[in-house]
Amino acid sequence: MAAVVASKLKLLHLARIFERQTDAEHGLTGPQLIEKLAECGVSVERKTLYRDIGCLRDFGYDIVQFRDRRPVEYGLATRAFQEPELLLLADAVQSSRFLTKTKSDALVRSVGKLGSEYMARALGRRIHVEGRIKSQNESVYYNIDGIQRAMDAKRKVEFKYFKYNERKERVWQRDGAVYAETPVQLMYVDDEYYLVVWNDKHADFATYRVDRMKYIEVSEQEATRNERIASFKVDEYRQRAFGMYGGKTVDVILRVQASAMSTVVDRFGGDVPVDAQDDGTARVCVRVMEAPTFYGWLATLGTQVSIEEPQPVREAYAAYLRSILALY
């Protein structure tokens, strides 16, 4: 029995050596593999080693021989994640604002374990974003976990919500009352996590910044179910909402100069309805949430984009611009 266990452990140790200490560029010779196994307390002969390598290949490990090297080396050529994919994952983790530096570093180390030690070292020196604002605590990380548990249990999520005042102090909304909302979708937009919920009182969707939600608990109340929640489409919601501000959904006709068309397509997608005009402009129909963030986006495009219809939205945008000018 002991011999059988030792044989199985030998294969596991050998697989780990290939996973961590070799890749498509780096290999180990037969004697080096025997030495590495000995460091794990496993004794193996050369013939047995080659049979074990064959077993790992039969199991699916892509172990290749580097025949152009003397002596011949063996390495794990492909794996579930290749180095470019690991680099992308590490970049995404390290550039995320909602993760603290401590959590980012820990996650990058975990990502590194998916590749060889050579890949892990490359990840460690991969990226530094000067001036990147990182979260000062890990609340978002655990808030997301609480929200997911509520969604899995089909329960409402309870929390308190705050905003900052002019003195940069946290001010609890609704005088510190506990919110109880039906979680619909988590969204990651502009380096922030948002939770889209269904609000029973207003019979509509609402959005909350996850990093401003505190004391999250899974509620005893069952989540609300209705047709609008069941048919919720996150991509359409993201196109309508600017900066995740809520507002009345309206259909708007924009007059767009050719110089701004790429920006409009980037924002609303390639399927946005466009009616090209003879004067080199286009009439573009978009569905948006009427909010200051939508007007702010329009303002960045200056005279390249204007609102044609509906008239109430034109007037509201003009009032928005006048209110800014009044400050100067």
Each domain of the chain, given as residue ranges in start order, spans: 1-76, 83-126, 146-242, 249-326
91 pLDDT tier (thresholds 50, 70, 90): confident
Assess whether pLDDT exceeds 50 at residue 129.
Answer: no
**CATH code for the domain defined by 146-242:** 2.30.30
Residue 265 near residue 290 (C-beta atoms within 8 A):
no
Quote the percentage of the chain above a pLDDT of 70.
91
Positions of E strands within the chain: 28-29, 62-66, 73-78, 155-164, 170-172, 179-189, 192-199, 204-209, 213-222, 248-257, 274-276, 281-290, 305-309
| The predicted structure's pLDDT at residue 90 | 83
101 pLDDT tier (thresholds 50, 70, 90): confident
**CATH code for the domain defined by 249-326:** 3.30.70.240
In CATH, 1-76 is 1.10.10.10: yes
Quote the percentage of the chain above a pLDDT of 90.
47
| The predicted structure's pLDDT at residue 140 | 79
d(CA 294, CA 167): 27
| The predicted structure's pLDDT at residue 138 | 66
| The predicted structure's pLDDT at residue 244 | 59
Q: What are phi and psi of 253, to 5 degrees?
A: -100, 120
CA angle 230, 234, 236 (to 5 degrees): 105
Residue pLDDT, tens place only, 217-251: 999 999 999 999 999 988 778 766 665 566 778 89
| Integer CA distances (angstroms), 222 to 17, 176, 183, 184, 296, in order | 49, 23, 11, 13, 38
Higher pLDDT, 123 or 278: 278
| The predicted structure's pLDDT at residue 201 | 93
200 pLDDT tier (thresholds 50, 70, 90): very high
Best-predicted range by mean pLDDT among 34-38, 124-128, 143-147, 264-268? Answer: 34-38
Higher pLDDT, 124 or 264: 264
Assess whether pLDDT exceeds 70 at residue 125.
Answer: no
| Integer CA distances (angstroms), 297 to 127, 210, 300, 322, in order | 30, 23, 5, 16
Q: What are phi and psi of 168, to 5 degrees?
A: 65, 30
Assess whether pLDDT exceeds 90 at residue 176.
Answer: yes
| The predicted structure's pLDDT at residue 128 | 47
| The predicted structure's pLDDT at residue 243 | 56
